[in-house]
Structure 1
Amino acid sequence: MKGFLTSVRAMFQFCTILPLGQPADYDEYARRFYLMPLTGYLVGGLAALASVLFADLQLSAAVALAVVMVIYGFNHFDGLLDLGDGLMAHGSREKRIKALTDQQIGAGGVATGILVLLLTYSGLLSVASIPFAILAAEVMAKFSQVVFVVNGKPFREGMHSYTHSFTKWWFTPVAFMLCLPLLLLPLNAFEFGGIFIGMAIPVILLYVLSNRLFGGVNGDVAGASNEIVRMFVIIALAILS
């Protein structure tokens, strides 16, 4: 039990900027990576609580989105920007990987970040419940990261490949089971279907695209999946609300 709680604390420490005491060993985070949806419950829950403090719909949506971005330290958003540069780069696979992994942010990254933020914010304005939408979206976004880290072939050595080395095939189904408490939310069958379809479609598309363009997955792709899946889930809920 102590090891489990240490891994939970390590996951919250490495995924968020929350002050949680003495830093835990990174290996504690990696060896139980299937716990990632718990981070979605924590961050999504905090964003949901923040959103209900404001009666104005536009402000509530903006605050919910701001809370998740800030608590993550914009790390996943940084991965989204890098992915945008990699997708928009022309030429060989090597050139795309260079654009994906360098420290510079180009027009492709900026445009991708703006589009995802605008679509996510617009979706939040149209859902039936911002708190429920942001919570569900965050949990499924974190599940998508488990899918990529467990199943995505690393195309280079780095933090992603190191974390990947700890994973087991059963991490994905266990992580999915941790998402099932979302079924307790007061949503209808169509909305629940939208949540899972909104997660599955971008995960499949991004997985196929990253393997075709980059020859595999890295931490930027896994981080970008968090932002993209959040957007898709919220849009799905907006359409079905």
Structure 2
Amino acid sequence: MAKSRLVSAVEPFVVAMQFLTRVPVPVEAEFTERSCRRSVAFYPAAGLVIGLLLAGAAWGLARILPPLPGAVLLTALWIGLSGALHLDGLMDTADGLLSHRSRERMLEIMKDSRVGAMGVAVGTLSLLLRVSLLSVLLGEGEGASAFALAALALIPVWSRAFMSTAIAGWPYARLPGEGLGGLFRTVRPRHAVYAFAAACAIGAVVLAAAGRWNWREGAVMLAVMAIFTYVPGALLAASASRKLGGLTGDVYGALNECAEIGLLLLAAVFIYNA
């Protein structure tokens, strides 16, 4: 009984890790509507695991390689940690939404396992932009700054926190039983609130551990990251929902990619103009 209670307690985090990452977790978890619904609040925690691995890799790469090759390797690690799940969603979403077809046809295109010209173009531009922005964060000669490392640790946290809001805030576009996104139909706004609160708490701990900013500066940094994640994200989600009649699993992944790129751009602008 004690074991089953322990498994039940950690199951939401395990489901979040196994669904969003390729980081090995030696615990078996069942993917059901209930477990997936509960896991949404732990998306920021899964993002933190990715972020800490990225920050650690960036710290090392910045000391042995110039920024550009280091950024390419860091991008490869970033994509690999999620199994290219969100990048695949971005390309499928681009193929569908940019086809300018009917709602039904766009959903069919997004369901197709083959990638079209728009998907390739958007996916390639996304990777190029990610590499170029990471090269700024990795610095030149002096290595990655404390700000850059903190940003890398927290960007996956906030992007996945917004995924929770997208899941809870807009209807699912496909019919019941269609697509992995259908497992999240029962997610409610309170789960998105839990995820947002978790992102705030994680951010506060990471910034406090860095020891470079007082509480006012830390609060401003977290507020700016939240605003630049949720405002553009909500606009993109609302636009996609108008065209599709809701969101899909591919759109959730695309929103995560867009949030990460947007926050990387924000961090690069700050570093470049500092």
Deviation of 1:211 (Å)? 1.2
Q: Distance in 2 between matches of 1:65 and 1:144?
A: 21
Q: Which runs of 5 or more structure 2 residues have no equivalent in the other structure?
A: 138-144
Q: Distance in 2 between matches of 1:135 and 1:18?
A: 16
Q: Which amino acid aligns with 1:221?
A: V
Q: Distance in 1 between matches of 2:102 and 2:11?
A: 43
Q: Which runs of 5 or more structure 1 residues have no equivalent in the other structure?
A: none
Q: Cα 1:211–1:229, aligned 2, differ >3 Å: closer, same or farther?
A: same
Q: What TM-score do the two structures reach when normalised by structure 2? A: 0.80
Task: State the SS of the aligned residue for 1:53.
Answer: helix
Q: What TM-score do the two structures reach when normalised by structure 1? A: 0.91
Q: Distance in 1 between matches of 2:42 and 2:161?
A: 9
Q: Hey, what does 2:154 align to over in structure 1? A: 136
Q: Hey, what does 1:110 align to over in structure 2? A: 120
Q: Hey, what does 2:198 align to over in structure 1? A: 178
Deviation of 1:110 (Å)? 0.7
Q: Cα 1:39–1:22, aligned 2, differ >3 Å: closer, same or farther?
A: closer
Q: Which amino acid aligns with 1:164?
A: R
Q: Cα 1:135–1:71, aligned 2, differ >3 Å: closer, same or farther?
A: same
Task: State the SS of the aligned residue for 1:31.
Answer: helix
Deviation of 1:191 (Å)? 4.3
Mean CA deviation greater in 185-194 or 66-75: 185-194
Q: Hey, what does 2:185 align to over in structure 1? A: 164
Q: Is residue 270 of structure 2 the alignment partner of residue 240 of structure 1?
A: yes
Q: Hey, what does 2:247 align to over in structure 1? A: 217
Pick aligned residue for 2:227 from 197, 203, 217: 197
Q: Distance in 2 between matches of 1:61 and 1:197?
A: 26
The answer to whether the 8 Å contact 2:172/2:182 transfers is yes
Deviation of 1:64 (Å)? 2.7
The answer to whether the 8 Å contact 1:155/1:218 transfers is yes
Q: Cα 1:59–1:130, aligned 2, differ >3 Å: closer, same or farther?
A: farther
Deviation of 1:193 (Å)? 4.2
Q: Hey, what does 1:208 align to over in structure 2? A: 238
Choose 1 or 2 for highest CA Rg.
2
Q: Is residue 27 of structure 2 the alignment partner of residue 9 of structure 1?
A: no
Q: Distance in 1 between matches of 2:181 and 2:47?
A: 19
Q: Hey, what does 1:44 align to over in structure 2? A: 51
The answer to whether the 8 Å contact 2:148/2:267 transfers is no
Q: Distance in 2 between matches of 1:115 and 1:103?
A: 20
Pick aligned residue for 2:104 from 81, 84, 94: 94
